[in-house]
């Protein structure tokens, strides 16, 4: 990795993190007329369309013995997206994203439980403090909106499992095919959910026919998701996780700006305190993991 590669990777990561809140803004904007399940379905539908031309660049077999893991990975990202979009109906964008950012801390814990990775007392303390930061944000919000405040927590749990499967599959799979298969299986899961929800009138997964403008917004959401995630994938090709991971918190800046412009939402002092604790804990965990990884190489 050259210094130029590192600079390119950091720039791509920052741009991606500033773009990603656009997905949440559109989802929140549509939450009054289109169910979160249908917005989630649209995200995968348009992702498949936009990524299809890139498949010509992929190599290797599609039907492998690990296809079931791709299906499981697609289901986890589908439910993570559904939970998060559902939460946006009740929470400011910045609050929802801040709560969701317990995900890196959960990934570290799950790596110890499911992959047997060692988590020392320093990281365990940092994780505990980070979760405390999430509780600081959740507590006053819970008093206002009730249980929906936990939806970003559910999204973080599902996304953590998605990341664990990604770590396993990325060792042998082409990144473009990996992302495309996640979209295919996410689309299948959400299609089945919409059929069931529409038949039995389950509000969060009931389908309606969008207006032309709503279709344009849903297409824009899919485009942002595709471009941003490809930027992230290419950034991690050029630089290490330890270098890039702290930049994911730039997403809170974009979320705060868009939330204020479109919905007049701005985090209060207590929320900023919780955000600061989560960010500090997350960056410490990333740096600690990078340090330990470098030690193993020596």
Question: In terms of pLDDT, which residue wins out, 65 or 295?
Answer: 65
- Cα(266)–Cα(256) distance, rounded to whole angstroms? 6
pLDDT above 70 (res 296): no
Shortest CA distance to 187 belongs to which of 76, 42, 80? 42
- Provide mean pLDDT across the span 51-60: 80
Mean pLDDT (whole number) for 50-57: 85
User: What was the pLDDT predicted at 288?
Assistant: 79
pLDDT tens per residue across span 263-281: 999 999 999 999 999 999 9
Helix (H, G, I), strand (E, B) or coil at 254: helix
- Residue 261: helix, strand or coil by DSSP? helix
* Residue-level pLDDT at 151: 96
Compare 298 and 192 and report the one with higher pLDDT: 192
Quick count: other Cβ atoms within 10 Å of Cβ 175? Answer: 18
């Amino acid at each position: 990795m050259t210094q130029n590669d590192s600079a390119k990777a950091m720039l791509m990561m920052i741009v991606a993190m500033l773009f990603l809140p656009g997905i949440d803004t559109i989802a929140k904007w549509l939450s009054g007329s289109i169910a979160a399940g249908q917005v989630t379905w649209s995200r995968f539908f348009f992702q498949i369309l936009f990524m299809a031309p890139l498949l010509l660049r992929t190599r290797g077999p599609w039907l492998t013995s690990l296809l079931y893991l791709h299906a499981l990975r697609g289901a986890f990202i589908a439910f993570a997206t559904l939970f998060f979009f559902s939460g946006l109906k009740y929470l400011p964008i910045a609050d929802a994203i801040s709560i969701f950012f317990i995900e890196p801390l959960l990934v570290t814990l799950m790596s110890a439980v499911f992959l047997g990775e060692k988590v020392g007392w320093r990281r365990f303390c940092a994780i505990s403090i980070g979760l405390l930061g999430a509780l600081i944000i959740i507590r006053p919000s819970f008093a206002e909106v009730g249980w929906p405040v936990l939806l970003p927590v559910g999204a973080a749990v599902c996304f953590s499992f998605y990341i664990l499967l990604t770590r396993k599959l990325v060792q042998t799979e082409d990144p473009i095919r990996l992302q495309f298969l996640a979209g295919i299986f996410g689309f299948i899961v959400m299609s089945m959910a919409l059929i069931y929800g529409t038949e039995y009138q389950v509000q969060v997964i009931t389908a309606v026919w969008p207006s032309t403008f709503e279709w344009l917004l849903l297409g824009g959401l899919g485009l942002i998701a595709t471009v941003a995630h490809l930027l992230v994938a290419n950034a991690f090709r050029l630089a290490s996780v330890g270098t890039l991971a702290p930049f994911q918190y730039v997403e809170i800046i974009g979320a705060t700006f868009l939330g204020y412009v479109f919905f007049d939402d701005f985090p209060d002092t207590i929320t900023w305190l919780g955000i600061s604790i989560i960010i500090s804990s997350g960056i410490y965990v990333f740096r600690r993991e990078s340090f330990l990884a470098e030690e193993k190489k020596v």
